[in-house]
Amino acid sequence: MKLKGNKTIPNNLLRSISTNLSGWMLLLPGMFLFFYIIWRPIFIGITYSFFDIKGFTPIKFIGLQNYKYVLSDTQFLRTLKNTVSYVFWSMIIGFPLPILCAIMLNEMIGFKQYFKISLYLPHIMPTIAVSVLWINIYAPDGAGLLNMLMQRFSLGPYQWLMNEKSVIPLLIVSSTWKGFGGTMLYYFAAIQSVNTELYEATRIDGCGFWGRARYVIIPHMTPIILLMLIRQIIGVFQTLDAPMVMTSGGPNGASMTLALTAYNLAFRYGRAGEALAVNFITFLLLIGLTFVYYGAEKKVSE
């Protein structure tokens, strides 16, 4: 492919490499590791998903048979719907919270450091510990913390995690409690880079807190918000730990996700080929979402 003048892409690449040869050579080991630890397993996984697998060894090429099994599974559509539901609820519950907390933290005059640390603390707790903690909060009898609070208002006790309708939002609440502190720090750092003269300008114009947030802070944070949005969607789409520890995908499959399905297929039922097919389908769905994000980001930049 030719560019303007006599330039071609290969020529440009060679020139770039030649100019920055030292840099490329120092990058080589890292690229080697990246290829070996990240890309190679992905390629192998995709390849193996077209094979009949015994243990973890591919035996025979079977084409799309694993995909047919996965897509014809009576629970596949329900599991896909559950996974999308996780993403939906994380957008409602988990996405705005760190933004609000970062903005409020920025507005605070005193005890800022104390609140910053307190809000971040759940983020450093191990996931399993958080899950066990929330299992006890959601315990269905009167001894569960949430039911104890409800009973003070003459409500409940409620089944919480045993309710097919509420189980996913409740799992998202527990995941948000653990994760929002880390995300909040990203937003807080972005807010810190706002030019203080803009704040002065809003004060002069008579803007209060909401005006500052609307006209200065949020527009300034838009690029990082979009980045975190796609990261959150990709991350939540692969939810595994919360349903595995807290509900085992129940009640009756109501909190089952694609990732947990793949785990069960690979390690409980010894069907590694189908597990890889599930993972590749997840990968394709996320690639699609990523293209949507890049399209949206381009429009926003323009």
Residues 149-178 that bind another protein (CB under 8 A): 159, 161-164
Q: Decide: is 258 part of the binding site for another protein (CB under 8 A).
A: no
User: Cβ of residue 282: shortest distance to another protein, in angstroms?
Assistant: 19
* Nearest-angstrom CA–CA distance, 47 and 277: 10
User: Cβ of residue 23: shortest distance to another protein, in angstroms?
Assistant: 8
Contact string (CB under 8 A) for another protein, positions 274-293, x = contact: --------------------
By the 8 A CB rule, do 46 and 270 touch?
A: no
Of 166, 143, 165, 167, give the one whose Cα is nearest residue 247.
Answer: 167
Determine which residue in the list 1, 10, 22, 109 makes contact with another protein, applying CB under 8 A: 22
Beta-sheet strands, E only, within the chain: 51-54, 57-61
User: Cβ of residue 138: shortest distance to another protein, in angstroms?
Assistant: 9
Residues in the chain: 302
Residue 195 CA from chain centroid, whole number: 30
Q: Decide: is 32 part of the binding site for another protein (CB under 8 A).
A: yes
**In terms of CB distance, is 162 or 230 closer to another protein?**
162
Of 161, 157, 132, 133, give the one whose Cα is nearest residue 146.
Answer: 157
Q: What's the angle, vertex CA 73, arms to CA 69 and CA 79, rounded to 5?
A: 125
Determine which residue in the list 6, 74, 154, 301 makes contact with another protein, applying CB under 8 A: 74
Tokens of 180: 């929002």
Q: What's the angle, vertex CA 42, arms to CA 38 and CA 48, rounded to 5?
A: 145
Q: Decide: is 264 part of the binding site for another protein (CB under 8 A).
A: yes
Q: Decide: is 242 part of the binding site for another protein (CB under 8 A).
A: no
User: Cβ of residue 12: shortest distance to another protein, in angstroms?
Assistant: 20
* Nearest-angstrom CA–CA distance, 117 and 111: 10
| Contact residues for another protein, defined by CB under 8 A | 21-23, 25-26, 28-29, 32-33, 36, 54-57, 69, 72-75, 135, 139-141, 143-144, 159, 161-164, 246-248, 250-253, 264, 266-270, 272
